[in-house]
């Protein structure tokens, strides 16, 4: 019995439940270990790595914009962002897209993960969480924070609002914060291999929530410290500077990142990127409703999927971890699916017939 492991996998069966009770994951039969490792294990590793590195990136970039501000204030302690802006950055304005990334991200489909088991080595080599990967994210966080801070501050020195006044501290900081929220949310879309409608809803919803909040927050004058932020978003949106900065700053910040991803994919691709290029014109066959996609599944895949949809049958002669599910041919034949009987099923049923006590003959 294995006494210690990084991740424990227990197999439930008639051999006992002790391994299942002390394991991290439980499977019904040993054959399910393939999907647990090659499919769900790979996806889980990829998602965790991306979520952690993205959290590191977005918080470092947000913090560095305030760090560069301290050089202009002589380290006086003057804050760059409003307290509520800082508090809600991770809670609301950048929270939901990360959750969607951790739930739905996958580099290749389940069928391709099983077809290319060598992809599992990326996790063994820790390909996506090396110091080189973390350093790359840190570099782009520093670069983008410099672009955001300097572009916004220097372009606003001669900016004038609709009333003829120059932009103040809270005008510039609100503009910079808006660009930060837009940039980090768009950067998340750039790192996704799979983009669903939930990604668009989460990213668009997070940016929309920021505008809704700043409209409400800047429109309420509750205390003296909020005087500088009062109606700041309305003042900004009444100028052409706001729309130009909102368009150009995120593009300038993400342009080098976009070039890096293209060069990396072209000259030094990961294994999964090579698989993506090989099968880029194929439809993902791992979704529910596979039989509705015509001419995309092999006969063996159609048969396996059809058997999965059949009603279950628990037999007192099955249940062992390494045993056959058994009796699947009967239910398959009722549903019109070809599932020939296996040799061990026939042998087992023959032994059952021999072991039955014979009825006494009537005299």
Give the pLDDT confidence of 197-215 residue by residue, as tens digits: 999 999 999 999 999 999 9
Q: Write down the pLDDT at residue 184.
A: 96
Q: Mean pLDDT across the stretch 69-77? A: 87
Q: Which residue has the higher pLDDT, 106 or 13?
A: 106
Q: Write down the pLDDT at residue 308.
A: 67
Triad 47, 48, 53: Cα angle to 5° = 100
Q: What residues are paired with 10 via a beta bridge?
A: 26
Q: What is the DSSP letter of 239?
A: S
Q: Write down the pLDDT at residue 220.
A: 75
Q: Write down the pLDDT at residue 104.
A: 92
Q: Could you tell me the pLDDT band of residue 78, with boundaries at 50, 70 and 90?
A: confident
Residue 260 has pLDDT above 80, yes or no: yes
CA 83 – CA 158 distance, rounded (Å): 27
Q: Write down the pLDDT at residue 329.
A: 55
Q: Two tokens at 99?
A: 């959750």
Q: What residues are paired with 13 via a beta bridge?
A: 16
Q: Mean pLDDT across the stretch 37-55? A: 93
Residue 278 has pLDDT above 70, yes or no: yes
Residue 49 has pLDDT above 80, yes or no: yes
CA 35 – CA 248 distance, rounded (Å): 45
Q: Write down the pLDDT at residue 349.
A: 57
Q: Among 132-146, 158-172, 233-247, 259-273, where is mean pLDDT lowest?
A: 158-172
From residue 236, give the alpha-carbon distance in Å to each of 47, 84, 154, 214, 231: 38, 19, 16, 12, 9
Residue 132 has pLDDT above 90, yes or no: yes
Residue 212's φ and ψ, nearest 5 degrees, are: -60, -45
CA 278 – CA 275 distance, rounded (Å): 5
Q: What is the DSSP letter of 167?
A: P
% the chain with pLDDT above 70:
72
Indicate the average pLDDT of the chain: 80
Spacing of C-alpha 76 from chain mean position: 40
Q: Which residues contact 307 (CB under 8 A, 6 or more apart)?
A: 328, 332, 337, 339
Q: Mean pLDDT across the stretch 100-122? A: 91
Q: Among 90-99, 151-160, 191-200, 209-218, where is mean pLDDT lowest?
A: 151-160
Residue 312 has pLDDT above 80, yes or no: no
Helices marked H in the chain — which ranges?
A: 18-21, 33-35, 42-72, 83-88, 96-104, 110-115, 121-124, 131-155, 169-190, 197-218, 232-237, 240-267, 271-278, 299-308, 328-334, 343-355
Q: Mean pLDDT across the stretch 262-273? A: 93
Spacing of C-alpha 258 from chain mean position: 19
Q: Mean pLDDT across the stretch 59-70? A: 94
Q: Are 101 and 54 in contact (CB under 8 A)?
A: yes
Q: What is the DSSP letter of 9?
A: E
CA 241 – CA 168 distance, rounded (Å): 14
Q: Could you tell me the pLDDT band of residue 24, with boundaries at 50, 70 and 90?
A: confident
Residue 2 has pLDDT above 80, yes or no: no
Q: Which residue has the higher pLDDT, 21 or 151?
A: 151
Residue from 273, 274, 293 nearest 283 by CA: 293
Q: Are 275 and 112 in contact (CB under 8 A)?
A: yes
CA 171 – CA 180 distance, rounded (Å): 14
Q: Which residues contact 134 (CB under 8 A, 6 or more apart)?
A: 53, 56
% the chain with pLDDT above 90:
45
Q: What is the DSSP letter of 225?
A: G
Q: Mean pLDDT across the stretch 91-120? A: 92
Q: Write down the pLDDT at residue 200.
A: 94
Q: Mean pLDDT across the stretch 84-109? A: 92
Residue 30 has pLDDT above 50, yes or no: yes
Positive or negative torsion for Cα 5, 11, 16, 22: positive
Q: Mean pLDDT across the stretch 300-307? A: 70
Q: Write down the pLDDT at residue 274.
A: 92
Pick from 205-209, 345-349, 353-357 the range whose average pLDDT is largest. Answer: 205-209
Q: Are 145 and 61 in contact (CB under 8 A)?
A: yes
């Amino acid at each position: 019995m294995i006494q210690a492991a990084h991740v424990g996998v227990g197999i439930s069966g008639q051999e006992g439940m002790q391994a299942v009770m002390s394991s991290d994951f439980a499977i019904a039969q040993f054959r399910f270990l393939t999907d647990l490792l090659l499919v769900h294990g790979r996806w889980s590793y990829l998602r965790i790595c991306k979520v952690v590195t993205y959290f590191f990136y977005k918080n470092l970039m947000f913090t560095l914009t305030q760090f560069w501000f301290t050089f202009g204030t002589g380290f006086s302690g003057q804050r760059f962002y409003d307290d509520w802006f800082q508090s809600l950055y991770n809670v609301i304005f950048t929270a939901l897209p990360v959750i969607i990334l951790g739930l739905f991200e996958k580099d290749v489909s389940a069928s391709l993960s099983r077809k290319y088991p060598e992809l599992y080595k990326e996790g063994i080599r820790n390909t996506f969480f090396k110091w080189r990967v973390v350093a790359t994210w840190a570099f782009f966080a520093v670069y983008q924070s410099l672009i955001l801070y300097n572009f916004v501050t220097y372009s606003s020195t001669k900016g004038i609002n609709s009333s003829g006044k120059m932009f103040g501290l809270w005008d510039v900081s609100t503009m910079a914060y808006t660009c930060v929220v837009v940039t980090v949310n768009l950067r998340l879309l750039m790192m996704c291999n799979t983009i669903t409608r939930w990604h668009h809803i989460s990213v668009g919803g997070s940016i929309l929530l920021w505008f809704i909040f700043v409209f409400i927050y800047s429109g309420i004058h509750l205390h003296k410290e909020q005087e500088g932020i009062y109606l700041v978003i309305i003042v900004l949106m009444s100028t052409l500077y706001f729309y130009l900065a909102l368009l150009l700053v995120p593009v300038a910040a993400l342009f080098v990142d976009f070039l890096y991803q293209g060069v990396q994919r072209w000259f030094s691709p990961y294994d999964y990127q090579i698989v993506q290029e090989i099968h880029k014109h194929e439809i993902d066959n791992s979704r529910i409703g596979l039989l509705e996609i015509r001419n995309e599944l092999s006969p063996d895949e159609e048969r396996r999927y059809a058997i999965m949809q059949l009603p279950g049958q628990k037999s007192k002669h099955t249940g062992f971890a390494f045993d056959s599910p058994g009796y699947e041919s009967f239910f398959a034949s009722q549903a019109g699916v070809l599932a020939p009987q296996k040799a061990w099923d026939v042998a087992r049923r023959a032994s059952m017939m021999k072991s039955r006590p014979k009825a006494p003959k009537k005299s």
